Amino acid sequence: MDDYTPDGGADESAFGFHGTWREFAPIAFTNLLLIIVTLGIYRFWAKARERRYLWGRTRFIDERLEYTGTGMELFLGGVIVLLLFILPYLVVTQVAQGMILRGQTIWGIVLTIVPLLLIFYLMGVARFRAIRYRLGRTNWRGIRGGSDDRGFKYGWSYMWKTMAGYLAFGLGVPWSMVSLWNERWRAMSFGPMRFACSADFSPLMKRYLLFYLSPFLLIAIVVAAGAAAALGFDFGGEFDPENPPFGFMAVIIGAILLFYFGLGFIWLAYFAKFFRVVVGEMTLGDLSFEFDAKTWDWIKLGIGDVLLVVLTLGLGFVFLGYRHWKFFIIHMQAFGEVNVDDLTQSTTRRDKHGEGLLDAFDMGAI
């Protein structure tokens, strides 16, 4: 029996990333040039090329990952979605508008709502199938992952659980997110082993309530500050709404920045906790996982992304995929043992195309 213990070495993590931005830069800029020249068509092959580099520079225990997907598979996925969903959707919406203009309002509204519900359903299917596709195209020691589930049932779960989460005045969102995470990963496998995930949403509620209540708190602060500023200036003279004092305007601008950036940071604090909780409850055979990124790590990632894009006048966006993958890998941990004698090849079905729906909805797979 050949056992590997990810946590058996000194302080070495089971996951490691060995890429550098200098190696990645020629790939990123060549991809960008070819995407421009081909009017965007090359982006499918660019994505596959980028993944081959990132996967190939990622180590799990003693072996690097291998990405076996191709640009043609991604291209076919995009074409299928264009023909089966995007074009029919455009036709149906035009017909619906025409019916409304002709006075057939009820049927026009029905034709407008049905495609929107279909899109809602397909968003869930897209997220499920993207993970399924990527696992099916990820090799470690020649073994790949995947799922026999096509994701259509998950699409219904995505719909009703998301709606249930928001219908309860939004207080059910953590339950919805955690429940969907558990459901889609329980359907995945690597080799012959199924992933297990039994995360609980309860540890997330404090941070979610902070995010949930913060807009009301911020609005109250803004109103109080604005009133105080106005009244304060009024003591020294009349407050002119058409020519407000600098201090009053500073309060308003500060409040707006606080509202957007403050909410963003609070959401990051919630999301950091969410990711630690759900990944921390995942297992694969005798392996358990952990994601150790704290809120400040996510904030640094976000600030770094913004500075990279702004300081390079937008050109730095080509490095965002590299930064996010590196962030994911260096914070990922695994504990336990891998018995390679039990790790036989996956027998799950592999589609010949991938991720068209995910591209159409511009969603993240994870």
Q: Which residues contact 113 (CB under 8 A, 6 or more apart)?
A: none
Mind listing the pLDDT tens digit of every residue in the chain (366 residues)? 445 555 545 456 889 999 999 999 999 999 999 999 999 999 999 999 999 999 999 999 889 999 999 999 888 888 888 888 888 888 888 888 888 888 888 888 888 898 889 889 988 988 898 899 999 999 999 999 989 898 899 999 999 999 999 988 889 999 999 999 999 999 999 988 999 999 999 999 999 999 888 878 777 776 776 676 666 555 455 556 666 666 666 766 776 777 777 788 888 899 999 999 999 999 998 899 999 999 999 999 989 999 999 999 888 999 999 999 999 999 999 998 877 777 777 778 777 766 656 655 555 555
Orientation angle between helical segments 173-186 and 152-167, nearest 10 degrees: 170
* Token pair for 137: 């195209």
Q: What angle do CA 26, 16, 185 make, to 5 degrees?
A: 100
At residue 16, what are phi and psi to the nearest 5 degrees? -150, 145
Check if the beta carbon of residue 218 is closer than 8 Å to that of residue 252. no
Q: Which residues are CB-contacts of 288 (< 8 A; sequence separation ≥ 6)?
A: 280, 282, 334, 335, 336
pTM of the model: 0.83
Q: Is 204 helix (H, G, I), strand (E, B) or coil?
A: helix
Contact residues for 58 (Cβ-Cβ < 8 A; gap 6+): 15, 16, 17, 18, 19, 64, 65, 325, 329
